[in-house]
A and B are shown apart, each in its own frame.
Chain A
Amino acid sequence: MAKILKNREILLVVAIAALLMAITLRFPGFVAPANLARVYNDTSILIILALGQMAVILTRCIDLSMAANLALCGMVAAMINAAFPGVPIPLVILAVVVLGALLGSINGLLVWKLDIPPIVVTLGTLTIYRGTIFLLSNGAWINAHQMSDAFKALPRAPLAGLPVLSWLSVLAIAAVYLLMTRTPVGRAFFAVGGNPHAAVYTGIDVGRTRFLAYCLSGALAGLSGYLWVSRYAVAYVDIAAGFELDIIAACVIGGISIAGGIGSVPGAVLGSLFLGVIKNALPVVNISPFAQLAISGTVIIIAVAVNARAEKRKGRVILKKAEAV
Chain B
Amino acid sequence: MNEAVLKNARNRSTGSQSQKEISRIVQKKRMNREDSIVKSILFLCAMVSVLTTIGIVAVLLVETLSFFKDVSLFSFLTDTKWTPLFKPEHFGILSLLSGSVLITLGASLVALPLGLMTAIYLSEYADDRVRRVIKPILEVLAGISTIVYGYFALTFVTPLFRMIFPDMGVFNALSASIVVGIMILPMVASLSEDAMVSVPKSLRNGAYALGATRLEVARKVVVPAAFSGIISSFVLAISRAIGETMIVTIAAGATPKLTMNPLESVQTMTAYIVQVSLGDIQHGSIEYKTIFAVGMTLFVLTFLINLIAQWLKRRFKEEY
Q: Do A and B bind each other?
A: no
Q: Which residues of B contact A (CB under 8 A)?
A: none
